[in-house]
Amino acid sequence: MNASNQDRGWLRRNRWWLLALPVALALAAASAAYRVNDFWWQNGWHRAVTTVDQGEFVTTRATVYSFDEKPKPVDLRVRLASVTRTNEMRNWLGEPLPLPGSAVGVRLQLDFQAVKGKPAPYCTVFVVDSDGNRYEVEELDSGSNPCPPPGVSPDAATAPSTWSRTVAAAVPKRTKVAHVWLGVTWPDYVRFDLKPSPRPAIELPRAPQQGEQGSGAVR
């Protein structure tokens, strides 16, 4: 038996497997795409739904789920009022957190307006550098989350018409702070661009101390 006959014999023996191969590959690709969507895309901050400059208010809507797993639309109106340098940092317990010599604190003031008289939902806020590295913030005021008014639950029936929150993140010195991200539910977030952007964190203006005047905004 020559090589040509051997090849034809192999093809005859395996013809059904060869016919099924494209279908198997298509199913494998579909399965992989499903896993990417469910285990990566839907479980991280991957889509900027709105981009605005520092100082501008933006209104965004997200869907949250209550304990009974029913979807609930929530609205959020917020602006990034100022970005300043700070030596004051606190951990998640609210205790003072000394900064190492290789780090600097970046302090944010977020201003909120109640939408339809409701408080803001829980959110996550990041300081983002020009290389895309993210640094999650911690609260410097009495709140337990960067968005709702201090001491007010997102499920409360009413809220103040306006309020501000002060948060900060520790970043390496010489970090070029380019953006601030604020998200309520994965994968969507609002992106605030600093003015000018990017700018080294070490050169951010110092936050005004008690009794001093100044807005502290990056100019």
Q: Would you state the pLDDT for residue 21?
A: 74
Of 37 and 109, the one with more pLDDT: 109
Q: Would you state the pLDDT for residue 196?
A: 65
Q: Determine the Cα angle at 203 with ends 145 and 78, to 5°.
A: 30
Of 162 and 195, the one with more pLDDT: 162
DSSP for the chain reads: --HHHHHHHHHHHTHHHHHHHHHHHHHHHHHHHHHHHHHTGGGS--EEEEEEETT--EEEEEEEE-TT--EEEEEEEEEEEEEEEES--B-TTS-B-PPPTTEEEEEEEEEEE-BTTBPPPP-EEEEEETT--EEE-EESSS-SSSSSPTT--TT-S---SEEEEEEEEEEETT-EEEEEEEESSTTEEEEEEPSSSSEEGGGSPBPPPTT--------
Within 10 A of 185 (CB to CB), how many other CB atoms are there? 17
Q: Would you state the pLDDT for residue 6?
A: 61
**pLDDT averaged over the chain?**
82
What letter represents residue 210's amino acid?
Answer: Q
- Report whether pLDDT(31) > 90: no
Architecture of domain 48-203: Sandwich (2.60)
Q: Would you state the pLDDT for residue 43?
A: 77
Calculate the alpha carbon distances from 151 to 93, 154, 211 in Å.
Answer: 15, 10, 26
Q: Would you state the pLDDT for residue 145?
A: 93
- Report whether pLDDT(172) > 70: yes
**Of 21, 23, 83, 97, which is closest to residue 207 (Cα–Cα)?**
83
Of 180 and 174, the one with more pLDDT: 180
What predicted TM-score, i.e. pTM, was given to this entire model? 0.75
Q: What is the pLDDT of residues 131-167, one digit of tens each?
A: 999 999 999 887 789 999 988 999 899 999 999 999 9
Break the chain into its structural domains and give their ranges.
3-42, 48-203
Q: Percent of the chain scored above 70 by pLDDT?
A: 74
20, two tokens: 């099924």
- Measured between alpha carbons, how far apart are the two ends of the chain, in Å? 84
Q: Percent of the chain scored above 90 by pLDDT?
A: 52
Q: What is the pLDDT of residues 101-123, one digit of tens each?
A: 999 999 999 999 999 999 999 99
Asked if residues 135 and 127 have their Cβ atoms less than 8 Å apart, the reply is yes
d(CA 62, CA 78): 14
Average pLDDT, stretch 59-78? 87
Confidence of residue 198 (pLDDT cuts 50, 70, 90): very low
